[in-house]
Structure 1
Amino acid sequence: MENADLDRTNNAGQGQEMQLQEKKRRSEKSKTIILTLVLSFFIIGGLGTWGYYSLFGPNSAASIDAPSDEELTEAEKSSGTALFKPTIEVPKTEIQRRINVIHEFWNSELGYDKWSKYNIDTHTPVLKDIEIDIRNKILPYVAGPLKVDIENALSKIAKSMSSESVEPLKGVHRIFHDLDISLNGYKASDYWDVTETGKWIKEEVKE
């Protein structure tokens, strides 16, 4: 009788141990599956982000070689397309300087992720002032593809104020960022390739 009780106790103990081992195996298997899924998520997410930026993100500005003033002037003459309409009071160097000033303005307004907290309502007076400055101090002195870019920037500012969305202003910032690189040799790590001026320079200066 005692032996029978001992056998039953041993069998019960072995059964419990086997159940514990089975639970442990299932737990480890579950952890392995979860870890695999998490790693897959990060890998796929990383590749997706890389793919997005490779298609829609900025290019490396290190590959952008801004033309010299002589190259720009020669390209304007040979192509018959002018970028600048300078006057005695506003020479080409002043037009270039004004483009840089506007670019720096947008850097201070939207750079370093400030755009994510930018409020159109509270900035409307400033936006109207900068729109007037661009319209009066830059637009009359540019031509060809550069005029198209400036008009595009003005259109985006107006759209931003009417829609109360900061998204168009990001486009304005990128336009002046690229123009500053293309026309002034501004040093930066990225180039958005969103201007007609940049495309024109590639065709006419870098052939």
Structure 2
Amino acid sequence: MAKGKFLKMGWFGRTFIAVVAVTLIGSVLFFFNIFNLDAMSFFSDSDDQATASDELSEETVEKVEEVRETVGKKNQDIGQLVSETHEFYNETTGYGGISSLDWNKQTEKANTILSVLDEKMTDVNDEVLTKDLERIQKLADAVINQEKTEDVRALHRMFHDLDIALNDYNAYDVIWNATKTLETTN
């Protein structure tokens, strides 16, 4: 019966429905493209969403402050690199940007990370921070050579956690546990 009604609609009715459907689909695609959104993120339980509780415990906040007072104060040069790089990743991967990365910018930043770390790693006296920085070097090298989104995400999370550990970065509600430096805060 439904098929009979569709045929009785005539060419004008079918054309009208087709134009409305194409307009709707085009508008949705335009919206997702203009805001660099990944449509699948609305339908999946992404690991980009915070896996920790929304509020950090008082004990965790105290441990973060302790790490800042010790490791952070001793490594202010690295802290500056961490802060600037974390800001770069917030701008280029945040709000759905991770789904449409500009690989030229990512590769350029990875090269910058490697050159600055080559220069400043010798000044770092903290063994745990050194291990984190060595992992960052490996990830930056992987970004240059393999261009995998997962490596950029891992770098962003490492710089996020290190920015919390080394600097006065307080605009966070989650610690990704991506670094050894903040591992003691759990």
Per the normalisation by structure 2, the TM-score is: 0.59
Which segments of 5 or more consecutive residues in structure 2 lack a partner in the other structure? 1-41
The structure-2 alpha-carbon separation of the partners of 1:178 and 1:60, relative to structure 1 and needing over 3 Å to count, comes to farther
Match of 1:65 in 2: 61
Contact 1:59 1:193 in 2 (8 A): no
Residues 1:192 and 2:185 are matched in the alignment: no
Aligned amino acid, residue 157 of structure 2: R
Cα displacement string for residues 137-184 of structure 1 (whole angstroms, at most 9, x for unaligned residues): 356425211111111111111112211222201101100101112333
Which segments of 5 or more consecutive residues in structure 1 lack a partner in the other structure? 1-45, 77-82, 203-207
Q: How high is the sequence identity, in percent, across the aligned residues?
A: 24
* Distance of 1:138 and 1:112 partners within structure 2: 32
Aligned amino acid, residue 180 of structure 2: E
Aligned amino acid, residue 78 of structure 2: I
* Distance of 1:98 and 1:62 partners within structure 2: 27
Q: Please identify, of 171-180 and 189-198, the stretch whose mean Cα deviation from structure 2 is larger.
A: 189-198
Aligned amino acid, residue 61 of structure 2: D
Aligned amino acid, residue 145 of structure 1: V
* Distance of 2:106 and 2:180 partners within structure 1: 28
The structure-2 alpha-carbon separation of the partners of 1:172 and 1:109, relative to structure 1 and needing over 3 Å to count, comes to same
1:57 offset after TM fit, Å?
4.5
Match of 1:167 in 2: 150
Other structure's SS at 1:197 match = coil
Contact 1:178 1:195 in 2 (8 A): yes
The structure-2 alpha-carbon separation of the partners of 1:73 and 1:127, relative to structure 1 and needing over 3 Å to count, comes to closer
Cα displacement string for residues 85-139 of structure 1 (whole angstroms, at most 9, x for unaligned residues): x8xxxx6444333322221122122222212111325643343123212332356
* Distance of 2:165 and 2:128 partners within structure 1: 12
Aligned amino acid, residue 55 of structure 2: A
Contact 2:93 2:101 in 1 (8 A): yes
Per the normalisation by structure 1, the TM-score is: 0.54
How many residues end up aligned between the 2 structures?
A: 141
